[in-house]
Structure formats: C-alpha cells, structure tokens
Amino acid sequence: MFGLKELLLTGALFAVGAVLSVIFLKKATGNKRLLLIPAAIIFIVIVASFVFFSDLPSTSAENGEYSVLSSGSGYSPLSLEITDAEFSGINPYIGIRIKNDSDTDCIYGESYDIRRKSENGEYVSSLSKYMSDSSAFILKSHTEQVRKYYIDEKTVPEGGVYRFELPFREKTKDEEYTAFVEFRIRSGVSGRNNLDFTMEKVVYENGSFSAETKASALPDIRISPEMGLFIRNGGEWNEIGVLNEIALSKDNFDKRIWHSDVTDQISAVDFRADNKRAWQIYEKGDNSENSRVYVLLRQDDGAYYFCSGEYNVSGLTEPNSDLSYFRWICLLSEKE
C-alpha cells in the first residue's frame, strides 16, 4: 500500500516525465502549441497539491499547535506516539499510544517523566518525582495500548520542546529501557482556577417522577483544577469528591436514560456520539440501598452537561447495573 511519500514521489516523477516528453516532441515537430501541455500539467499538479495538503488533518491542540519532533526507544520494537493532547480547559492531558511489535510481552508501570529542553540543549525533568509504581501493566506482544497522562502548569509551564519518557522492561528480563517521544508546543498549560456553573436548561428528565424538574431549582456546581466536584444549593459549597474520567458506553449512559417527559428529549445514542470527554463520581446517600451518581459531560461543540441520578450500592461489583438511572440531565452555563 502506498504511503504519503510514495504517492507524492510517484506524482512528481509522472509530471516531470510528461513535461520532458512534450518538450522533446516540440523540438522534433516544431509545434509550439505543445508547450501549452506542460504548462497545464504543472498547473494541475500545483492545484492538486494545494487541495491535498489543505485537507490534511492538523495537529493542533486546544491551547495551540503541537508537533512531534522525534521518537525513540532503548528497545526498538516498543515505541510511543502522541495520539492527541489538550493544554487548556479542565483536566489537560497528553494521549500516548504504547505499541509493542516484539514477540515478547513487556511491562511498564505508572512511572513516567516529562522533560523540558533547556537553552543549553539539556532535558530537565518538569516533574518533582516519578509517579509511584504501585501498578504494573502488561503490554502483550504485537498489541498496543492508549493511555492519558494528565498534566498541569507545573508539568508543562510554557511553550517549547518537551520529551515524554516511559520506562519499561521485557516481561522475562530485569533490564530496564526507556522509550520517548519529543514534541514542541506553542504555549504551556495556563494557571487554572475553579470553574463555576449554573444550571441553564433541563434536557432530560426521568418520566417516572411526577414532580417537574426546573433548572432554576437545581444546585450550582464547581469543578476545581484537581477535578474536585463541589455542589451548592443556596448555602455553602459541599465537597463531593474527585471526578474520574470515563468513556461513555451503552451501559454507563444509554441504559441510565429511561423515558423522558421533556418535549425536546435527547437521543442517548446521538448524545453519546457527540461526547468529547466525560467524568463520573459516586456519592453515598442517606439511604443504605442507593447512592448518588454524578456525570459531567463535555460535548464536541464545547457545551457542558451535568447528569444526576441514583446508583444501586448493593451492586458495587457491577458498576453499570441496570438499576442505576439518571434523574435529570441539564445544560450548564459557566459563570464568568
């Protein structure tokens, strides 16, 4: 299968060959009109190249463009690749694809480092210390995994060149290697503050309840830089806990939406398809049988939604129990 370089080279060689052939025919026949053909070919190649390159996906992140400069590994079959990144908003991160092309399983932990390239060319760690290796992950041979590594203004404080490093080893050996990917960003993670939201519009309401849910009667919410969730219902802020990022699925989203009494009710499938990121937390309630489940959604268009419902505590071993449901889903409005 042809790659980008092969296609460009083939097209260039074809264009050069066509132009030289026409020039040769012109000399042989004396027909000057033949010179219009190479001019047309050159024009077509230029236009096609412009259209092709303008259609290529950009590597821009939310807080400025980033570009991958190089990558490498002490053990060549294992490599790293940046899949995506966000340097602004809540919960900024770098997405890393870890690929193992060897015939041997590899092991890596939670340890990683992000080093910034200084003016003298040295790479200085921007982390105060490695993450602990309380967990170990096995990367099977000829497989890959994608993980998110969360960053902040201390990790990536400003624009420049950085190197993400991941230590690992072969499963059957003790020797440790390091894989890296080097990238450049325009600007770093800016200083983050609390994000405060009010409820703007109820887009889903569980029809099993007789009482109507009004956005004006719902609490305000606050998201701290550390993804802490706080809820205020007219008084002081009540700390709920730390939101954990999840991937929306039929089990943890669609099945929690039963039937709605809202006129312009949402489609769970479409809503999930338009979701960019999601975070979830459980809160133990007064009732021993149920606790609250809260889900924060950020959609592709930048809008935030907040879901509130109940979760069956007795089924903690089944976090996506059918007995859990959303009481309501509300569009959020960010306070300035």
**Predicted pLDDT of residue 283:** 87
Q: Which domain holds residue 245?
A: 195-334
How far apart are alpha carbons 179 and 147 in whole angstroms? 15
Residue 24 lies in a domain: no
Task: Look up residue 276 and give its two tokens.
Answer: 């960019």
Residue 36 lies in a domain: no
Assess whether 241 and 179 both reside in one domain: no
Residue 72 lies in a domain: yes
**Predicted pLDDT of residue 57:** 41
pLDDT digits 0-9 by tens, 91-125: 999 999 999 999 999 999 988 999 999 999 999 99
Assess whether 172 and 221 both reside in one domain: no
DSSP 248-313: --TTTTGGG---B--TTPPPHHHHHHTEEEEEEEEEE-SSTTEEEEEEEEEETTS-EEEEEEEEEG
To the question of pTM greater than 0.85 for the whole model, the response is no
Task: Look up residue 158 and give its two tokens.
Answer: 């400003």
User: What mean pLDDT is predicted for residues 192-208?
Assistant: 89
Assess whether 244 and 292 both reside in one domain: yes
Residue 112 lies in a domain: yes
**Predicted pLDDT of residue 142:** 98
**Predicted pLDDT of residue 223:** 97
Q: Name the band, by pLDDT with cuts 50, 70 and 90, for residue 56.
A: very low
Task: Look up residue 195 and give its two tokens.
Answer: 């994000």
- CATH number of the domain to which 110 belongs: 2.60.40.10
Residues 6 or more apart from 17 whose CB is under 8 A from it?
Answer: none
**Predicted pLDDT of residue 207:** 75
pLDDT digits 0-9 by tens, 296-306: 999 999 999 99
**Predicted pLDDT of residue 171:** 92
Domain boundary among the residues 129, 164, 185 is at 185
Q: Name the band, by pLDDT with cuts 50, 70 and 90, for residue 314.
A: low
Assess whether 65 and 104 both reside in one domain: yes
Q: Name the band, by pLDDT with cuts 50, 70 and 90, for residue 63.
A: very low
Nearest Cα to Cα of residue 226 among 247, 260, 248, 195: 195
Domain boundary among the residues 122, 154, 185 is at 185
User: What mean pLDDT is predicted for residues 35-49?
Assistant: 58
Q: How many domains does the chain have?
A: 2
**Predicted pLDDT of residue 208:** 74
**Predicted pLDDT of residue 92:** 93
Domain boundary among the residues 125, 154, 185 is at 185
Assess whether 268 and 236 both reside in one domain: yes
Ramachandran assignment for 12, one of left (phi > 0), alpha (psi -120 to 50 degrees), beta (any other): alpha
Assess whether 97 and 160 both reside in one domain: yes
How far apart are alpha carbons 40 and 91 in whole angstroms? 52
- Can you give the C-alpha Rg of the chain in angstroms? 27
User: What mean pLDDT is predicted for residues 226-235?
Assistant: 93
Nearest Cα to Cα of residue 182 among 163, 157, 168: 163
Residue 14 lies in a domain: no
Assess whether 204 and 321 both reside in one domain: yes
Q: Give whole-number Cα distances, 49 to 9, 13, 44, 52, 138, in Å.
A: 12, 14, 8, 5, 43
Total count of residues recorded for the chain: 336
How far apart are alpha carbons 101 and 81 in whole angstroms? 13
**Percent above pLDDT 90 for the chain:** 52
Nearest Cα to Cα of residue 88 among 116, 69, 62: 62
